[in-house]
Structure 1
Amino acid sequence: MNYRHSFHAGNSADVVKHSLLIALVRALQHKESALTLIDTHAGCGLYDLRGDEAQRTGEATQGVLRAFADQNPLLNDYRAAVQEVNGGVEPLLYPGSPKFLAQLLRPQDFLILNEKHPEDVHSLRGVMRDTPAAVHERDAYEFWLAMVPPRTARGVVVVDPPYEQTDERARITTTLAAAHRKWAHGVTVIWYPLKDRATHSRWKEQLRKLRIPKFLNVEHWLYDADQPGIYNGAGLFIVNPPYAFTQALPPLLESLRAALAPEGHRGEITTDWLGD
């Protein structure tokens, strides 16, 4: 499966991922101490929803446009962040995780981005030129391991690969285990697509065997039954989520489920703790 950002910008997975990312960072910012925000697969940073790649899939109509049509105030922070790159009008551009993270920066925080794809990193540098972000062009997993622990005591690593490689999940598992040994109290967010429950269940069991405490899994299934061979939703693994985030999560997840449920389906967003 290829989930390169430009083809899927603003889809339902982006709405959930970025809504939760905003809530997570803001919960961590209840403390004044500095944060380092690290994105291992940063992509282009900004996407034209009228562009050929986004138009080819049309997924934004089932994602960001649904979120904008919904009136639930729990989605206000997400909508405001999207509007920030659109001058307050309806979404024609969609911010990638780097732009969402840049909007959340306080003066004491740091943003470090990485993108291996040459064309994408060139675009990323242009998009992030007016921000204090540092941009790298390295192998994502080597970069991830090299960046932890960060210079600040606290931080977040966002891992959002396109799943183009057959060994992507294995590399995530191996790198997460090594990174956790180096930085046990760090917060890590790992995004993944859901195609079928059996494949995902096997990977979840492999991650469970890492025996990482405070290991939260959030899954968003779009349909009431699996749709064979197609994209069924997406999820996040979150290591060391802060208490303020987990306490506020249930109503936010319900608002996202309701806003994004496809016609004729209720959809489902679940949470599960993998740690001891």
Structure 2
Amino acid sequence: MNYRHSFHAANSADVVKHSLLIALVRALQHKPGALTLIDTHAGRGLYNLGGDEAQRTGEAAQGVLRAFADPTPLLNDYRAAVQAVNIGAEPQLYPGSPQILAQLLRPQDFLILNEKHPEDAYALRGVMRDTFAAVHERDAYELWLAIVPPRTARGVVVVDPPYEQLDERARITATLAAACRKWAHGVTVIWYPLKDRTMHWRWKKQLRKLGIPKLLTVEHWLYDSDQPGIYNGAGLFIVNPPYAFMQMLPSLLEALRAALAPEGHQGEVLFGWLGD
């Protein structure tokens, strides 16, 4: 499955991913100790929703625009992050994970970004020029393994690939296993698109074999039954999620389900420990 950020910016997957990512980092920041935030597949950092690529899919209408129209206060933090890069009521620009993570930084925190695609890396450096983020242009999985554990005692690795390569899931699985051996208490967030349940079930089976004690799976299914051959939703695998995040996760997921359900569908959210 080819999932380039620029074509799908601000869709329902981004709303889910960024809402949960904000909540996760904020939960970790309940403690004053420094955090290192690492984004292995950072993309361009900022997307023009009026541009050709975003307009070609028009997915923002079913994503960020639905989130902005929904009155629930549970999405206030997400809406504020998007509004921070816009002027006016309706978003024209969409912040990628690097921009959102930069907004969350406290003075003691660090942000490390990586983007292998040369054009996207060049754009990313421009977008992040007024921040203290370090930007790398390396193979994502090599960087992930090389950079953990970070210099700070705590940190988060965000893994958000386009799933262009047939071995993407296998590389994630192998790198996660090696990274957890080096940094057992680290927090890792792995985003994935949901196209069909069989493929997803097989991947979960492989991840379960790793024996990671605290590996949470979160799934947001848009439709009441699988729609063959198309994008059906998105989810996250989260290693070592903090307690405060787990406490608010059910209500936030329900708010996302209600805000993003396509017309005629209720949608579904699922979460639980992968070993259960």
Normalised by the length of structure 1, the TM-score is 0.99
State the shift of 1:215 in Å: 0.5
Alignment of 1:236-251 (within 5 A): 236-251=236-251
The answer to whether structure 1 residue 184 and structure 2 residue 150 are counterparts is no
Partner of 2:204 in structure 1? 204
How many residues align? The count is 276
Deviations 1:14-42, CA, capped at 9 Å, x for gaps: 00000000000000000000000000000
State the shift of 1:204 in Å: 0.3
Partner of 2:29 in structure 1? 29
Deviations 1:180-239, CA, capped at 9 Å, x for gaps: 000000000000011100010000000000000110000010000000011000110000
Partner of 1:60 in structure 2? 60
Partner of 2:261 in structure 1? 261
Distance 2:39 2:213 in 1: 22
Identity in percent:
85
Distance 1:248 1:255 in 2: 11
Normalised by the length of structure 2, the TM-score is 0.99
Distance 2:76 2:20 in 1: 12
Partner of 2:113 in structure 1? 113
Partner of 1:164 in structure 2? 164
Partner of 1:132 in structure 2? 132
Distance 1:188 1:46 in 2: 23
The answer to whether structure 1 residue 4 and structure 2 residue 22 are counterparts is no
Alignment of 1:41-60 (within 5 A): 41-60=41-60
Partner of 2:100 in structure 1? 100
Amino acid at match of 1:64: V
Amino acid at match of 1:81: A
Partner of 2:73 in structure 1? 73
Distance verdict in 2 for CA 1:88–1:156, change over 3 Å: farther
Alpha-carbon RMSD: 0.7
Partner of 1:223 in structure 2? 223
State the shift of 1:90 in Å: 1.4
Which ranges of structure 1 fall in alignment gaps of 5 or more residues?
A: none
State the shift of 1:119 in Å: 0.4
State the shift of 1:88 in Å: 5.0
State the shift of 1:89 in Å: 3.1
State the shift of 1:52 in Å: 0.3
Distance 1:87 1:166 in 2: 40
